[in-house]
Structure 1
Amino acid sequence: MRVRHGQAEGRCLVGERTLLSSSFGSAASAYAEHRPDYAQAAVRWALEFAPGPRVLDLGAGTGKLTHTLVAVGADVVAVEPDPAMLTELRRARPTVRALPGSAEAIPLPDASVDAVLAGNALHWFDMAVAGPEIARVLAPGGVLAGLWNIMDDRIDWVAELERVSGSAAIGPRDTLTSWRAATADMLVVSTRLDSRFGSSEQAEFPHGQRRTADSLIATLATRAGMLVMPEPDRETTLGRIRDFLASRPETAEGEFNLPMLTGVLRARRR
């Protein structure tokens, strides 16, 4: 059978996405320790039009978004495909119903939730399959929202950190500028959800994080691109970041505030 170039390229992209998205389990405990939670104001905005309190945290990881959803009073069920991440989630949130499953095969009945939220996960979903699944489990008028914790690259030293780090450590959707561009048409154009969902909206909410140089390096080491990088290249990249942080007055000594935002993309089920 003859395979066209576009088909082969598409398969390579799918394979790369699968490799990256499945890398987090190898660093589940570090992910739980170092990744930030989400701004409560961002979660409340995401849920503003939800018809009820039932929320699915889809691709829940170690429960970072679950933590914030519980804090704002949502009735949460979490679904996560990676066993190591799911174990961390259950350890951290033993009272939350946490199920194995994926965005492409959600283990919930039809119209069983009022909102589906995904924290730093929506871009990993195969939305050609996940879109109908999400629509299936959402009640009429329900909300789909993706949330991302992003660095504020309007701050000079953060923009320079992005340049020094490279795309494996700070990639698409990891800074305000790249996040706005990457998610602008994600739901309607890229995933062709226009028949099931209304137009999408973007918003950003302040959400700083106290860090040290060591803890910021540990956080960046949990990025998917870093996790799949050969060890010598990974150490070189982390060393370059360490040298940069040591050279900047904002980050050289003790704790500092990492300027961040929680970006939200939301749409409503028709």
Structure 2
Amino acid sequence: MTDLRSTERFSDRVEDYVRYRPDYPRALVDWLHGLGVHADWSVADIGAGTGISSKLFLDAGHRVTGVEPNAAMREAAERWLAADSRFHAVNGSAEATGLPDGSIDLVIAGQAFHWFDTEKVRAEFTRVLSPRGLVAVFWNSRRLVGTPFLEGYERLLHEYGVDYVGVAERYTDDDSMARWFGRGYRGMASFPHGQKLDEEALRGRLMSSSYAPKPGHPNHEPMLRALHELFEATQDGGTIDFDYDTRVFAGRPEHA
């Protein structure tokens, strides 16, 4: 099952998460629509967090149920998306969503997928899918090389992050995702994405990460000093480019 620590590790980072985490490109939804997904398809956002991926699909015309076990994050999503009657949030885990059988046309799992028990969620996602339904798994993959900022930021995380390497290694590669979907795999796509951040936003983006040491930890102040030095050395006009590749995998999970 999902490690309970993973469901709570963002509880004290919700404000930074809401303000500084990246969204996803609309091209992701357009690609799924090209696979036959329509705006009238119901969506379940599993591990919805503060509602970032839910907002993307609401903006594309979908009805969205956000499934999120962390109360603080779920409440943040409800506050942010309260004006849209097509959104509602439920307390549930990826492995036990509480959703009815066959009730969902499109199951999505964004940045949270690497925390799930992938065997159990395959069965759960399949259970809640309608006959026409698909699953889309996606995340923003931060670029590690290519600019002095990106390479310096990666060094900073290795030096000061609490469990950075362990978290980074949880992300799944292309072949593993294809095997997870099995015979029902429909393919993957990748889209460039990014944020332009000033120093305050860069600090908030770092502190939204579960592996960034909080105040009181011996690595916290040295990390922020190193971040300031990196920003000063690499900023252009008062901002830096925080670059990602948004990777999406889609299909209907089916054993070979």
Q: Please state whether the residue corresponding to 1:232 is helix, strand or coil.
A: coil
Match of 2:156 among 146, 164, 185: 164
Query: Which one-letter code corresponds to 1:267 in the other structure?
Result: G
User: Larger deviation: 44-53 or 258-267?
Assistant: 44-53
Pairs within 5 Å for 1:73-222: 73-94=61-82, 95=84, 96-157=87-148, 158-166=150-158, 168=161, 182-189=172-179, 191=180, 193-194=181-182, 198-199=184-185, 201-222=187-208
Query: Which one-letter code corresponds to 2:97 in the other structure?
Result: I
Q: Structure 2: how far apart are the matches of 1:101 and 1:160? A: 38
- Can you give the 5+ residue segments of structure 1 that lack an aligned partner in the other structure? 1-13
Q: Structure 2: how far apart are the matches of 1:208 and 1:112? A: 34
Q: Evaluate the alpha carbon distance shift between residue 203 and residue 42 of structure 1 in structure 2; reply closer, same or farther with a 3 A threshold.
A: same
Q: Structure 1: how far apart are the matches of 2:224 and 2:176? A: 31
Residues 141, 268 of structure 1: 8 Å contact kept = no
Deviations 1:218-265 (A, max 9, x none): 1111111125796222332232222112122xx264234322232112
Pairs within 5 Å for 1:256-267: 256-267=240-251
Residues 104, 126 of structure 1: 8 Å contact kept = yes
Residues 16, 208 of structure 2: 8 Å contact kept = yes
Query: Which one-letter code corresponds to 1:264 in the other structure?
Result: V
Q: Structure 1: how far apart are the matches of 2:230 and 2:189? A: 31
Q: Evaluate the alpha carbon distance shift between residue 64 and residue 212 of structure 1 in structure 2; reply closer, same or farther with a 3 A threshold.
A: same
Residues 185, 253 of structure 2: 8 Å contact kept = no
Q: Please state whether the residue corresponding to 1:208 is helix, strand or coil.
A: strand
Could you tell me how far 1:46 is from its partner in structure 2?
3.5
Q: Structure 1: how far apart are the matches of 2:33 and 2:11? A: 28
Q: Structure 2: how far apart are the matches of 1:98 and 1:227? A: 30
Q: Please state whether the residue corresponding to 1:160 is helix, strand or coil.
A: helix
Residues 245, 252 of structure 1: 8 Å contact kept = no
Deviations 1:196-222 (A, max 9, x none): x52363321122212112211211111
Partner of 2:46: 58
Could you tell me how far 1:91 is from its partner in structure 2?
0.1
Could you tell me how far 1:188 is from its partner in structure 2?
4.7
Query: Which one-letter code corresponds to 1:187 in the other structure?
Result: M
What is the aligned-residue identity percentage? Answer: 29
Q: Please state whether the residue corresponding to 1:185 is helix, strand or coil.
A: helix
TM-score of the pair, normalised by structure 1: 0.80
Q: CA RMSD in A?
A: 2.8
Q: Evaluate the alpha carbon distance shift between residue 65 and residue 51 of structure 1 in structure 2; reply closer, same or farther with a 3 A threshold.
A: closer
Q: Please state whether the residue corresponding to 2:35 is helix, strand or coil.
A: coil
Could you tell me how far 1:160 is from its partner in structure 2?
3.1
- Can you give the 5+ residue segments of structure 2 that lack an aligned partner in the other structure? none
User: Larger deviation: 110-119 or 41-50?
Assistant: 41-50
Deviations 1:48-75 (A, max 9, x none): 4355511111100000111111111112
Could you tell me how far 1:113 is from its partner in structure 2?
0.9
Residues 7, 70 of structure 2: 8 Å contact kept = no
Q: Structure 2: how far apart are the matches of 1:200 and 1:171? A: 30
Count of aligned pairs between the two proteins: 246
Q: Structure 1: how far apart are the matches of 2:200 and 2:214? A: 20
Q: Please state whether the residue corresponding to 1:133 is helix, strand or coil.
A: helix
Residues 112, 138 of structure 1: 8 Å contact kept = yes
Residues 121, 146 of structure 1: 8 Å contact kept = no
TM-score of the pair, normalised by structure 2: 0.84
Pair 1:241 & 2:233 matched: no
